[in-house]
Amino acid sequence: MTKNLKYAFILLAICAVSAFALALTNSITAPVIAKMDAENRLRALEAVSGGYQIGTQQDVTDQQFVSYTIDLLDSDKVMGYILGLKTAGYGGQMTLVASYSTKGEMLFAQLLSDSETPGLGKRAEQEGYMDKFKGTGADKPVPTSKAMLSSGDAQAVSGSSVTFNGIAKAIAAGSAYVKSLGGAK
């Protein structure tokens, strides 16, 4: 019995030291990770802003795909919006930012986070992937199926249908949300 207690205390000590080491590591790395995430988000917002001034963020709680909206301003006049979008991909939740004209036309988009399959769904992170959605949403429908794409674009999303469909649904929902704003908030 005392032998078992000895082993239990040894295991308890090992667990306590491990927990302390993990907590210390987390306290050191968490602020660095938060700072990097904020910098990456700012870079993404600037990349999709189209040169307009980025306004303040307003959270959206009543939409499935839209998390927040940010006005794109030119001399205090709203020229469009940046939307924070969330959707489901093959590997789980994906988040992206997309800018829209006040008419709902998608201008630029960038994937912020995802857990997609390397070589397939991860292609959505590559430069040029979101170009197939550019200019859609106002007069031209957002391509929500491969049949709506050119043969080259359809080949580019081959093998990653779930990722493509998730992004397409989010971008289409963003366009519909901007149209529901009636051109301005």
In a domain, 40, yes or no: no
Three-state SS for 160?
A: coil
Is the distance from CB of 82 to CB of 69 less than 8 angstroms? yes
Is the confidence at residue 117, as pLDDT, over 90?
Answer: no
Is the confidence at residue 94, as pLDDT, over 60?
Answer: yes
Considering 94-103, 141-150, 159-168, the range whose residues carry the highest mean pLDDT is 94-103
| Rounded distance between C-alpha atoms, residue 174 and residue 68, angstroms | 10
In a domain, 9, yes or no: no
Tokens of 36: 């990097």
In a domain, 57, yes or no: yes
Is the confidence at residue 145, as pLDDT, over 90?
Answer: no
In a domain, 110, yes or no: yes
Specify the pLDDT at position 88: 83
Specify the pLDDT at position 10: 93
Specify the pLDDT at position 183: 59
In a domain, 25, yes or no: no
In a domain, 14, yes or no: no
129 contacts: CB under 8 Å, gap ≥ 6: 111, 123, 156
Backbone angles phi, psi at 49, to 5 degrees: -75, -20
* pTM of structure: 0.78
In a domain, 1, yes or no: no
As for how many domains the chain has, the answer is 1
Which residues constitute the domain of residue 144?
49-180
* Segment 149-172 mean pLDDT: 78
In a domain, 176, yes or no: yes
For 24-47, the pLDDT digits (tens) are 999 999 999 889 888 888 888 888
Side by side, the strands of the sheet bearing 66-74 are 53-59, 66-74, 77-89, 92-101, 106-113
Q: pLDDT-based confidence at 15, cuts 50/70/90?
A: very high
